[in-house]
Every structure is written in structure tokens, then in C-alpha cells.
Amino acid sequence: MVIKVYMNKHKSRSKALKVAVGFSGVESVALKGDDMSQIEVTGDGVDAVALTTSLRKKVGYAEVVSVGAAGAGAGAGEQSMDDEKIEANPEPVVWPNYHVAAPLPHYDVCVVRDYDPYSCSIL
């Protein structure tokens, strides 16, 4: 997989490489591209989303350029990602058309007895 990371200094490059190498399932990491702003990661079972998220948190801007077998060019990866976007037609969401009524409020009932002044005071 190839991940584009914004690296303007040597320190950020080394930090990005350390993050990528420390990830589980990574076998090798290499810088590529004209300005060395792309990281090529090879390995088995590497989670591209988790690696990109980790790079965003620790280094800065990171974007997945291509995901595929090692040796595949970046251009081929971009084409396949574009084809996947075109082919993926999401199914329409059907919402239920019933209305749920709000529950009725509960009122407490208090029994108030009137005082009778003519009643017997002994009882």
C-alpha cells in the first residue's frame, strides 16, 4: 500500500517511518515519490485505515494513495480505486412510514379531605 504523508523535515520523515515500522504485520517500509512524501508499506494483514489514522495523529496529514499487491504502480492503484468508486452504487435507504406517539404524561393523584369543624374532637 502507498500512503501520502506531509513531511517537510527530516524529523517528521523519521517519525512517520517509526510509526509505520512499529505497526503490526508490516514487513518493510520505504520512501518513494519525487519529494519522498509517500510511504510504501508491505506486509501481511496490515490495516490501511488504522495505519493512516495513526500517521494522522502522530505526524500530520496522511492519505491512502493505493492499496494492493507489492510492485503495483501507484497509477494502477489509483485507477482501481476510481473504478471501485464508480461501480459501488449504494442502495436507497427505506425509512419506515409510521409515527410513534409520545407517551402520555403521568399525573400524581392526591386525595385532599376537607376539615369538618363540627366533628367530634375526642375521636
What integer pLDDT is reported at residue 87 of this predicted model? 57
Question: In this predicted model, what pLDDT tens digit does every residue of 48-93 receive, in sequence order?
Answer: 899 999 988 988 888 898 888 655 444 444 555 555 555 566 677 7
C-alpha cell, 112: 385532599
What integer pLDDT is reported at residue 74 of this predicted model? 46
User: What global pTM score does this model have?
Assistant: 0.53
Domains in the chain, ordered, with CATH? Answer: 2-86 (3.30.70.100)
| Mean pLDDT across 24-37 | 87
| Mean pLDDT across 9-37 | 87
| Mean pLDDT across 36-49 | 88
CB-count burial class (<10 Å; 0-12, 13-18, 19+) for 120: exposed
CB atoms within 10 A of CB 112: 4
Question: In this predicted model, what pLDDT tens digit does every residue of 91-123 receive, in sequence order?
Answer: 777 877 777 777 888 888 888 777 777 777 675
